[in-house]
Every structure is written in structure tokens, then in C-alpha cells.
Amino acid sequence: MRIADCEIKNNIIDFRDVTFVFEGKTPLFSDLTLSIEKGAFYLVQGPSGAGKTTFLRLITRLEEPVSGEIRFQDKPFDSYSPPVLRRSLLYIQQTPTVMDGSVAENLLMPFSFKNNSHLTQPGHEKLGALLREVHLEDVGLDDHAMNLSVGQIQRLCLVRGLLLSPEMLLLDEPTSALDRESAQAVMALIERLNVESGLTILIVTHKTYGQDRIKPRYLVIEEGRIEESS
């Protein structure tokens, strides 16, 4: 066994000397180099303002680094078209947001986008099944989405993203508005997706992780550095 072989990892995301600055402020990240392993389960933690959300946004290209390179599956971001990246790396924002319309309309809206035309639109049974998994069985497909509670909308946004079958899920505080039971259901679903479907998971959360089915890896962001720990 050569030493070089031990070095080979299967990375989905690589940061190489990435520097990121918000205009007029001190750099958030300087010469950051790290790798996200495919199929792993990460929890991103750190004090508020440290840059947890920005970290996710850099990965989903909602922000651009000032210098350095980010790679997806060992090729630079620039070599992919934006639709391809977004299909694979799904970002679910902290603020749950739905459009004016029914629950079904909201869930199926991405399928009306031209970039997603290669995907088959799921039927109502599949929608119902997913809603049940996140404890939204009481919510009807014809209900007005904007009338739901914040916690219900939060779960709805998760389901909407999952319907697009991404390779990696980046979640920003996905259970912040949920009661204990619903939070557990959501985390169970995410874990199942990681174990059974091999989705890479990156969750920003301030909550402590109580399950022991999966051993999460911790990325702690503090003062411009990201350290991995267990």
C-alpha cells in the first residue's frame, strides 16, 4: 500500500485558499483550505456572526470568494454551468419562504422551471408521503401555503428541496421553529437520506445533536478558521 493511496479521498467539495470579504469589512475567511467528504454528515457550529451562513452560501455560489478556488467533485466551480451545480447542491435558507398559492403549487413550482425540465414531476401520492414523513399529514395539498405556521412552512421548504433529488443538502437551522417531536421527525428523515441514499449533509445548527445512529463530524467556524472535530 503506497502512502499516496491512503491520501485518496472522495471529496464532494474542496476549498483551496479561499478568501472571502464582505465589502468594507475585515475578511471573514482568509486562505481557507478544507474538504467536505462525500456522503458524510456534518454539523456546522460557531458563534453568531462567525460566517456559518456565508460558508453555506459560498458552497452554493450565492456568494463568490475574493480569491482562491472552490471545487465540486474535483473540478473547479467555473467548469460547471450554474443549473448543474444548483441541482446537485441544494441550499435551504434559514427563513422559510413560500409563494402565494396552494401547498401543491409551492411544492411543484420548481418543476415548472425550464432548468428542471429533465426531472419528472412527482405525483400527489409522493407529495403526501413526503409530507407524512415530516409530520405534515394534517396539511392538505390544496391548503393556502401562506396560512401555515412558521414551523409547517419550514418543513414544507425542506420537502420542496428534496423533491429535486440533490446530491448534497445544505440546511441553515432546519429545526429552529419546530417542537421536539417534529424536530425529531425531520432529523430522522435527513439521517435516513444520508444513510440510505448517500446524500452529503451539511447542517448549520446551534442545537446539540442527540442521536447516536450517526456519528456527525463537526465543523467549527471561529475567527475565520474552520476546524473539523468530532
Partner 1 sequence: MKFDRYILLLILLILWQVLCGLEVIPTHLLPSPFKILLGLKDLVIIGMPPGHLLPNHVLYSLYRVGLGFFAAVLLGIPAGLLLGWSPGLRRITNPLVELVRPIPPLAWIPIAILWFGIGMKSAAFIIFLGAFFPILLNTVSGVLAINPIYFEVAQTLNAKKKDIFFKVLIPGSIPSIFVGMRIGVGIGWMTLVAAEFTGVRTGYGLGYMIMTARDIQRPDEILAGMLVIGLIGYLINGGLKACERRFVKWRA
Give yes or no for residue 65 binding partner 1 (CB under 8 A). no
Residue 184 CB, nearest approach to partner 1 (Å) = 26
C-alpha closest to that of 200 among 2, 21, 14: 14
Return the range that interacts with partner 1 (CB under 8 A); candidates 96-104, 182-190, 191-199, 203-211. 96-104
Name the minimum Å distance from CB 159 to partner 1. Answer: 12
Interface residue with partner 1, options 52, 86, 135, 155 (CB under 8 A):
86
76 is a contact residue toward partner 1 (CB under 8 A): no
Q: Return the number of the residue (60 or 121) whose C-beta is nearest partner 1.
A: 60
Instruction: Give CA–CA dist 93/84, Å, rounded.
Output: 19
Q: Which stretch binds partner 1 (CB under 8 A): 8-16, 42-50, 104-112, 190-198?
A: 104-112
Choose, by CB under 8 A, the member of 27, 39, 68, 110 that binds partner 1: 110
Distance in Å, CB of 78 to partner 1, minimum: 18
Tell me the sheet residues that pair with 225. 222
Among 93, 176, 184, 205, binds partner 1 (CB under 8 A): 93
Which residues, 147 to 206, sit near partner 1 by CB under 8 A? Answer: 157, 160-161, 164
Q: Does 22 bind partner 1 (CB under 8 A)?
A: no
Stretch that binds partner 1, among 26-34, 109-117, 194-202, 217-225 (CB under 8 A): 109-117
* Helix, strand or coil, per DSSP, at residue 24: coil
Hey, what's the cell of 136? 405534515
Query: Using CB under 8 A, which of 13, 40, 50, 90 touches partner 1?
Result: 90
Q: Quick check: helix, strand or coil at residue 66? A: coil
Give residues in contact with partner 1 (CB under 8 A). 60, 62, 83, 86-87, 90-93, 95, 97, 99-101, 109-110, 112-116, 144, 146, 157, 160-161, 164
